[in-house]
Amino acid sequence: DAGVIQSPRHEVTEMGQEVTLRCKPISGHNSLFWYRQTMMRGLELLIYFNNNVPIDDSGMPEDRFSAKMPNASFSTLKIQPSEPRDSAVYFCASSILGNEKLFFGSGTQLSVL
Amino acid sequence: KQEVTQIPAALSVPEGENLVLNCSFTDSAIYNLQWFRQDPGKGLTSLLLIQSSQREQTSGRLNASLDKSSGRSTLYIAASQPGDSATYLCAVPYNTDKLIFGTGTRLQVFP
């Protein structure tokens, strides 16, 4: 398996623009997680899905953030409108069950100017 | 609320030394604990997962222990190598499926 695949690898955008991050989990994994990593706050869980259903989105910072998982092989994290403080590395991760070994993608480095 | 702390924040050692990295968590009602490695500019790689019923797990030169009652885990790296240089993070589940991560220990092993 190719592992968790994220795109794009890097994203540079201007404040106010819409940003869409994409994730393909490992085939057969039922749980998908979106994390954000910054120097100041470390790794923060934004939202996670079990069997394509959002279970906990309490980590989503504001209404500007939204996430979807239309099927078992694809998820998106959208920020609209983006702000400079959203600049971070966004990771997607998946696992067979939510409480088992977690596999991470390579992340998307987002810079909002 | 679960809080996870890692000490030290950074460590620099010569090649060949045996190392101990520490992880503390405030809520001992966990069912497992994971140790991850993160290389610069990369995602995280799971190294070891210890179930709450286990006291330790081993993988090659890595050994992780878990003491739930005291809220502690240690990652032992034997005979460290420059290739071990990375950031090491521990993580525990909270509210079933949410993984809470520590702030990490940045390790540098020099030749």
pLDDT digits (tens, 9 = 90+) for A47-67: 999 999 999 898 898 899 999
Instruction: Please report the DSSP string for B6-55 in residue order.
Output: EE-SEEEEETT--EEEEEEES----SEEEEEEE-TTS-EEEEEEEETT-S
Q: Where residue B106 falls among pLDDT bands split at 50, 70, 90?
A: very high
Which residues of chain A does B45 touch, with a Cβ-Cβ cutoff of 8 Å? 104
Per-residue confidence (pLDDT) for residue B29, from 0 to 100: 86
Q: Which of B34, B43, B46 sits opposite A106 (nearest CB)?
A: B43
Tokens of A34: 């979106």
CA of B36 vs chain A CAs: smallest distance (Å): 9
pLDDT at B86 over 80: yes
- Beta-strand ranges (E) seen in A8-87 are 10-13, 19-24, 31-38, 42-50, 53-56, 65-71, 74-79
pLDDT > 70: what percent of chain B?
97
Q: Does B45 touch chain A (CB under 8 A)?
A: yes
**Regarding predicted confidence, which is higher, A59 or B82?**
B82
B1's CB contacts (< 8 A; 6+ apart) are: B26, B27, B94
Residues of B in contact with A56 (CB under 8 A): 95, 97-98
pLDDT, residue A1, reads 65
Residue A71 has pLDDT above 70, yes or no: yes
Query: pLDDT band at residue B96, thresholds of 50, 70 and 90?
Result: low
pLDDT bin (cut points 50, 70, 90) of residue B25 is very high
Average pLDDT (A40-48) is 91
Q: What integer pLDDT is reported at residue A99 of this predicted model?
A: 63
- What is the nearest CA distance from A34 to chain B, expressed in angstroms? 11
Token digits of residue B56: 């330790």
